[in-house]
Each structure stands twice: as C-alpha cells, then as structure tokens.
Structure 1
Amino acid sequence: MRKKENGFTLIEWLVTIAVMAIVASIAAPSFKAVRAQQKIDYSTKDLEKVLLQARYDAILHRQRMMVNLGQIGTSSTNTLYWSVPDEQTLSFKKFVCTSNKWQGTLIDGVKQLIFATDGTAELFRGYTDDDGNAQRQKQELSSIEVIISNGNTSKYVEISPLGKITTKDQSRQDQEC
C-alpha cells in the first residue's frame, strides 16, 4: 500500500501559474493607467506648491517673485524654477468670457510667471521677432489655465489675475462664466 504524499503535483502548479498569468495580463493595463494618473497628480501638486511659495514669498518679502516655467536652474531669493517631468507636456490657455461661456486660446512660448508684491500674477511669453531677436511679451490675465498632460491624462492649475491658484480635474473650457 502506498503512502499519500503531501504537496502539489506538477499539473496543479502549471494550472496555478497559468491562472496567475491571466490575472496579471488583465491587471497590467489598469496598473499603467493608475501609475500615469499618479505621476500627473504629483506634477500638478508640485507646480501648485512652487506657485504658492512664489506668491507667499512675494507678499511676505515685498518683492516680485519670478517663476521660470519649463526650465531648470538654481533658485534664488526672488527666482524659482519648475520644469515638467519627462513624458509630460506643459501648455497654457488664456480664458475670456464669451456668450456666458469660458473660451480658451492656447498661448505659445510661456516662460515666466511673476507675482507682484500684492500677490497678483503676471504671465510672460517669449518669442523671436522678425529680426531674430528674443522678445518678451506680457499676457493680459483674465484667467490662465496651466495644463499638465501625458497624452491620456490631464490636470489643470488655474491662476486668477489676483494670483489665486486652484488645481482642477477638468478644464474651464465651455463652462458657464
């Protein structure tokens, strides 16, 4: 008479591994989407933190604070830097109220956001003129939306003319004003 052995047979192990592989292949795309959302959330919070710090420093120290956007550099007492992480893009929209709806237009070449001593915000766009000279142009602020995106997922940081900074999951585009 044979004694019963403890443990699993080879077939039981193979079935278990096959089931685990199927479950993993189903969960992998979902995990990628969650990870992409986490990266966008982190970048948005980081940008919001830098903008809030610049605004508070401008008010507290009574000096203009410049935030260089999309650039890498060494921060100083009146200058901060923030760059967008790899695989993410940074874009800007300026909004105006038209027919009771917010209408946004993209602004190219945004390089700097400056907070005045009273906490209000000024946005500057860089461009090259016809003679090849680098120029800087102040943008009129009604409401600015900073869009951080990785292609599939986007988050929005809204900056009011008075310097209020708000993070949102949806764009202001076509919403009532």
Structure 2
Amino acid sequence: MRQVTRGGEPVDVAGDFPEVGQAAPPLTLTNTEMVDVTLADYAGKRKVLNIIPSIDTPTCALSTRTFNQLASRMADTVVLVVSADLPFAATRFCGAEGLDSVETLSTFRHREFHRDWGVDLCSGSRAGLCARAVVVLDENDCVIHAELVPEIKQEPEYEAALRALDGYTPTGKTSVESVD
C-alpha cells in the first residue's frame, strides 16, 4: 500500500498504480451523458488522465482548467478528467467555467477504477475518493507517464506530462507544440 499526504497528514492509497512501459489497466467510467465508456472509445488517440478527488476543490478545479487550456495544443490527444463526482457536477463546473477541451468521467458506477489504477484513498477524511494523479497513455494504451502526486493539495507536474507527449514520437514528428 502506498501513501500520499493531505496537508502533511499521511493518507493510505490502495491498488497498483500504473508504471511507465506497462499496458494501461482496463477501465469503464461514466461520461456526462450517463453512458459508460472504455479505453476503446478513445482508440487511436493518446490519453491524458487527470485523476482528481473532486472537481469542487480548488486544486482539482485548477488542474482541470490548466489541462483544458493545454488540451488545444495536443495533437491527437484527449484529456480525460476522472473523479468520483457525479456527471451532473462535472457538467455544471465545466459549463460555468467554459471548459470544452476536456472530457469528464465519473467513477460513481465503477469503483473498481480506484483500485485497478492504484488511486483508492482508503483512509482519512477523503476515503472513497481518488488520489490526485496524472497518467499519460500512448495511442496503444501503453503508459508513457505516471505521476501519483505526493501531496493531495499539490498540483501535478504539467510539464512532465507534456514532455512525455512531446518526447513520444513513433513517427519521428513532434506531436505537441511548445507551451508558452
């Protein structure tokens, strides 16, 4: 079992967090239309999974806004914001914020995601939510970047995720424009 912190206090995280070079674990999550989706729904695209505890917290909202801004610069890439929030809450937030370059997905029907992806907060006041993490997958669903953020209140390393995309060039072309 791994640990992260929240405000410096240890929080247990259960499950096996994906490692670079591994095939992504299977997933089924619920989109804003209340339809279940899998990785096959994004076949042929690279995927950035911005895994968050709740869209209604400051750091989660900030990371969602940041990835929304960056998403328009990522060729052949989809940004998936994954949380335990109901699809209604995610739709409300993205609508109010004008965020249209990310897709929000919910674990509310599919709690197995938490353990299968190694982000299951299983102690502390946020038990039952996802730990903060970013996992980047290539178009074949192989993990090319994985960050389990060590402090829940901390933002992920956006640049590291982008470098993974930029550095991954199966055709020899740069697939991400530089970030200002």
Q: Which TM-score band (shorter chain)?
A: under 0.3
TM-score by length of 2: 0.26
TM-score by structure 1 length?
0.27
Q: Which has the higher contact order (CA 8 A, sep 6+)?
A: 2
**Structure having the higher Rg:** 1
The structure whose residues are more often helix, as a share, is 1
- Name whichever structure is richer in strand by fraction: 1
